[in-house]
């Protein structure tokens, strides 16, 4: 047997774990919503408008890198309707010590909306035990059509 072989085996196991995995530690999730933007960038009242946004989930503790799916609700001020979209997040984004980061892009089609300035709010449906962000709002200025 090679000298030091006993000390190398445990090191291989520790370094073989994906970043952020802590078997035995309880799972903890923190979620953010950002990068809200309208499409097209200069919307008009005669063309459909969509809102795009990014969802980032940070997991500490636990193990495994299964995809995460969250439901976003998008509301336009003054409108009774709610658009719901499922946002699928996969491992990605900037690595963070002690955490696994999952990132997903959301898109909600609002259809055509009248000229004027509209507040559009994006919120995520709650999940038990997850730290969810407060609703995020974007102001969209829609110009009159042709």
- Structural domain tally of the chain? 1
Tell me whether residue 45 is in a domain. yes
Measured CA angle at 106 (ends 105, 107), to 5 deg: 130
Within-domain flag for 26: yes
Domain-located, residue 132:
yes
DSSP 95: -
Which residues form the domain of 105? 20-142
pLDDT in tens, 106-146: 999 999 999 999 999 999 999 998 999 999 999 999 998 66
From the list 138, 140, 141, the residue with the least C-alpha distance to 121 is 138
Q: Find the radius of gyration of the CA atoms of the chain.
A: 21
Query: What is the tens place of the pLDDT at every residue in 69-102?
Result: 999 999 998 777 889 999 999 998 777 888 899 9
Give me the CATH number covering residue 74.
Answer: 2.60.40.150
Q: Which residues contact 141 (CB under 8 A, 6 or more apart)?
A: 43, 116, 117
Least Cα distance to 35 among 20, 24, 51 occurs for 51
1, part of any domain: no
Closest CA to 97 of 58, 143, 135: 58
CB atoms within 10 A of CB 29: 18
Residue 122 lies in a domain: yes
What the block records as the tokens of 119 is 């507040």
Domain assignment of residue 10, yes or no: no
Task: Name the DSSP letter for residue 99.
Answer: B
Question: What pTM did the predictor assign?
Answer: 0.79
Sole residue written with tokens 């999730």: 29
At 134 the pLDDT is 96
Residue 138: inside a domain, yes or no?
yes
**Does any domain span residue 5?**
no
Cα–Cα distance, 82 to 45 (Å, whole number): 19
Instruction: Give phi and psi for 129, each to the nearest 5.
Output: 80, 0
């Amino acid at each position: 047997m090679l000298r030091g072989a006993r000390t190398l085996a445990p090191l291989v196991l520790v370094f073989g774990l994906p970043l952020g995995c802590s078997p035995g530690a309880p799972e903890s999730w923190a979620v953010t919503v950002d990068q809200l933007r309208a499409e097209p960038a200069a919307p008009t009242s005669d063309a459909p408008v969509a809102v795009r946004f990014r969802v980032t989930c940070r997991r500490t503790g636990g193990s495994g890198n299964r995809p995460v799916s969250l439901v976003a609700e998008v509301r336009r001020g003054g409108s009774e309707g709610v658009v719901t979209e499922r946002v699928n997040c996969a491992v990605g984004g900037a690595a963070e010590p002690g955490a696994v980061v999952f990132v997903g892009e959301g898109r909600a089609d609002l259809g055509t909306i009248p000229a004027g300035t509209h507040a559009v709010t994006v919120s995520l449906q709650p999940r038990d035990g997850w730290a969810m962000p407060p609703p995020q709002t974007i102001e969209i200025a829609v110009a009159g059509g042709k």
